[in-house]
Chain A
Amino acid sequence: MSGAMGGGAPEGVGATRRESVLQRRLSLKDMLDLPSFTEVVRSFSELYRVGIKVLDTAGDKLADVKVGHGDFCSYVFGFPEGRARCTATVARVKDGPVAPVEGGWPARGDGAEEAGIIALPCFTGLRYLVMPVCWEGDLLGRVILGPFTPEELADFPGSLTDIAGMDLARAHELVGRVRRAPERTAAQVLVHFGQVLAALVASGQRAFLATQLHIEAMLETHRDLEANNARLAQANVRLKELDRLKSTFLGTVSHELRTPLASIIGYSEMLAEGLAGALNPEQLLYVRTIVEKGESLLNLISSILDLSQIEAGRLRLVIGPVDLGSVIQTAVSSVAPLAQRKGVALEVRVPPPPQPRITADADKLRQVVVNLLANAVKFTAAGGRVAVVMSEVGAQPELGGPGYRVSVEDTGMGIREDQLENIFQSFYQVDGSSTREHGGAGLGLAIVKSLVEGHGGRVSVESEFGRGSCFTVVLPLQPPLAETGGLSALAPTPSPTGQDRF
């Protein structure tokens, strides 16, 4: 996979990926929530009135609670010899092996042996217990309990009493504040603490791994999505380019077709008008048929040209103030002969003039109405009715602003519900067979949609199959960007909403 993100790759592991947390050895710190762990240690220390320290293998303190022994130890530490001996003892306890060597012995007590607890003496006669923290066979750190006064301690040993300047009465007073307990009891406290620690580490490890893995999975998924997006964007660019080429091709071809066709029609008209000599009635009929068919072919080609120009983004609207009512009247008059020939009644309802003008391209709007009306007449049988209705200006919820609403209703064949979505597509006719019956290339509605949307409007359709259809065009008073004077009628594509802030 072509990763979208680069990054340093550890040797031998997947090309652009970081090593997973699952491949790492976790430290005690990773697996414990230190603030809440400190709370647990403190409550333990206070309950048993004895200090507890927890160190990881690097010697870092994860928790350190002093209870009772602080004053005594500070007093002893105040003497130079005391300081030296204290430092040596602490070094043995913190950094020496957690094994019955170098002055240590296996602690007495239930479960002390299984837990690997050792006892270490202090030169003052006090005692420490040290327990290894093992997890999955690895040593992660140690727990130090103490110092406490062993129950059997009757008096201070020589290693304390021989310190120069030591006030033994004071030392006795201070050591009285240190917890006195049998080693067995202290070991049980430590075993118990070990069980609590194991439970905390288990849940801590679980939470740590789960959150870390969650993040890793998110990053991994993100990488996949980015790669997919890049592929799709590439495909999209290619498709757009193909689409543009298609439109350009259609535009060029239509243009190349129209030029000779115009000549065919022109020369046929000249023939019909007798400019090259009189024609007999039969010849005249044939030539007129050539003109008529030539014109309908020209219309078809023009439609294709319009649509392809719209799609190629090259159709410019010529914007100016437009009286929509008169645009509709003009459109109706150009469709009226067709309706009359077919025996379809044509009805027009527009609000009385004057009405506020809209800013639009009058020719294109007329084409919209003509296309809709011609369509309605085409699909309505003799004896039917086609009506065009224009509203007064008012708020249009589709546009979020004021505008007009123009409806073209018919009593024709209607459109099946499952076809409604497709009818605005190019070259689409509801029923392929109707192309033969009704003619046309299926471009009219696609052009209507593009032109209306090019004006910032909307077109929609409602229909009851077999009963008739109603097309509604909603137009805003001002098309977007009208102040530029001319705008491209592009089929609108979704664009990021909102404006740049910075």
Chain B
Amino acid sequence: MQLNHAQRELTLKIVYYGPGLSGKTTNLRHLHAKASPEVRGRLLTVETHDDRTLFFDLLPVFFSTSSGFKVKVKLFTVPGQVIHNATRRIVLQGADAVVFIADSRRSATADNNAYWRNLQDNMKENNLDPSQVPVVIQFNKKDLPDARTDAEIEESRRRGGEAVVGAVALRGEGVLETFHAVAQAAYQRLDARAHLARNLGLTEAEFLGQIFRRMDLTGSALARTYERAPGEARGGDGR
């Protein structure tokens, strides 16, 4: 978190972590497509010729609070290929919350575990306390054969303290829910540390509302919670 009282700016960082080809970039693409242009910037991606993330993807989401604070949430993905560990470590620097995208297939269990350990190692390298930085686990690719069942995912949820969300990111299922869970967790952690509600007048309801009322939540369970802001028109050039 970077909090600049003089400029009245708050910047949060959320990192999408996980094995190669688990769907990190797909998550960001879907969020970019669903967010209204006035709350999101361009989706910045740096890919290799075969569509693998080379350094990171970056999707900025921003709004101004009713008390006049500018809030920016930067969503990053890390490159999943094993050789890019140094880049993963750099991108993870200063993260306020992490989404771990796991591949639901049972055959991917070893890979998930390896990257989970890699996440713990790189958090420690960055002086991030794994018990303090909230992590949300997304079980992606739930539609594939060999995927874990809901019961198995539920059991996996009970084994740890992290929030767990099932998803099929290619179809957009679970993507907004994952983002909602991680945004909420990030807010709660920062509020505990920096008292955002007391010092900035930024409540959890406003934080989440400012973002999710400007997202197309059609078809997701969140649609009932957040009505679209009135007078919302798609426009602008994404600047």
Contact = CB atoms under 8 A, between A and B. Distances in A.
A205 interface: yes
B152 interface: no
Contact of B91 (A15, A22, A194): A22
Which of A136, A138, A209 is packed against the most chain B CB atoms within 10 Å?
Answer: A136
Contacts of B139: none
B93 A195 contact: no
A20 B95 CA distance: 12
12 contacts: A20-B94, A23-B94, A114-B235, A133-B239, A136-B60, A206-B44, A209-B44, A217-B90, A220-B86, A220-B87, A220-B90, A224-B85
Contacts of A48: none
A66 interface: no
Interface residues of B, number: 34
Contacts of A214: 55
Given A137-B70, A214-B55, A13 B93 contact: yes
B76 interface: yes
A1 B124 CA distance: 10
- Please report whether the interface of chain A is mostly helix, strand, loop or mixed according to DSSP: helix
Given A13-B94, A14-B126, A114-B235, A210 B55 contact: yes
Contact of A206 (B46, B70, B84): B46
A249 interface: no
Contacts of A14: 93, 125-127
A213 B55 contact: yes
B232 interface: no
Given A210-B54, A224-B86, A22 B76 contact: yes
Contact of A22 (B54, B63, B93, B235): B93
B126 A13 contact: yes
A217 B42 contact: no
Would you list the 10 A-B pairs with minimal beta carbon distance, nearest first? A137-B62, A220-B86, A136-B41, A136-B60, A221-B86, A217-B86, A217-B87, A213-B55, A198-B239, A14-B126
Given A14-B125, A137-B63, A209-B58, 12 more contacts: A1-B125, A19-B93, A22-B58, A22-B93, A133-B239, A136-B62, A137-B64, A137-B70, A194-B239, A210-B46, A216-B86, A216-B87
Interface string A1-28: 1000000000011110101101100000
A202 interface: yes
A135 B60 CA distance: 10
B2 interface: yes
A197 to B, nearest CB: 9
Interface string B205-229: 0000000000000000000000000
Nearest to A207: B46
A62 interface: no
A134 interface: yes
A209 B55 contact: yes
Nearest to B46: A210
Interface of A: 1, 12-15, 17, 19-20, 22-23, 114, 133-138, 194-195, 198, 202, 205-206, 209-210, 213-214, 216-218, 220-221, 224
B231 interface: no
Contact of A136 (B55, B72, B76, B87): B72
A217 B55 contact: yes
Given A194-B239, A206-B44, A221-B86, A20 B93 contact: yes
A93 to B, nearest CB: 21
A210 B44 CA distance: 10
Nearest to B38: A137
B236 A135 contact: no
Interface in B44-72: 44, 46, 54-56, 58, 60, 62-64, 70, 72
Given A136-B41, A137-B62, A213 B237 contact: no
Interface of B: 2, 13, 41-42, 44, 46, 54-56, 58, 60, 62-64, 70, 72, 76, 84-87, 89-91, 93-94, 125-127, 235-239
A13 B235 contact: no
B127 A15 contact: yes
B143 to A, nearest CB: 32
Contact of B89 (A15, A23, A138, A220): A220
A20 B235 contact: no
A23 B93 contact: yes
A33 B54 CA distance: 23
A188 to B, nearest CB: 14
A138 B91 CA distance: 21
Nearest to A213: B55
Given A135-B41, A137-B41, A198 B237 contact: yes
B46 to A, nearest CB: 5
Contact of A198 (B58, B87, B126, B238): B238
A217 B236 contact: no
Contacts of A221: 86
B210 to A, nearest CB: 12
Question: Which of B72, B93, B236, B238 has most chain A Cβ within 10 Å?
Answer: B93
B59 to A, nearest CB: 10
Contact of B127 (A13, A194, A209): A13
B127 A217 contact: no
B46 A22 contact: no
A135 B239 contact: yes
B237 A195 contact: yes
Contacts of A23: 2, 13, 93-94
A430 to B, nearest CB: 40
Contacts of B86: 216-218, 220-221, 224
A206 B54 CA distance: 12
A40 to B, nearest CB: 17
Contacts of A135: 41, 239
B177 to A, nearest CB: 25
B32 to A, nearest CB: 13
Contacts of B126: 13-14, 17
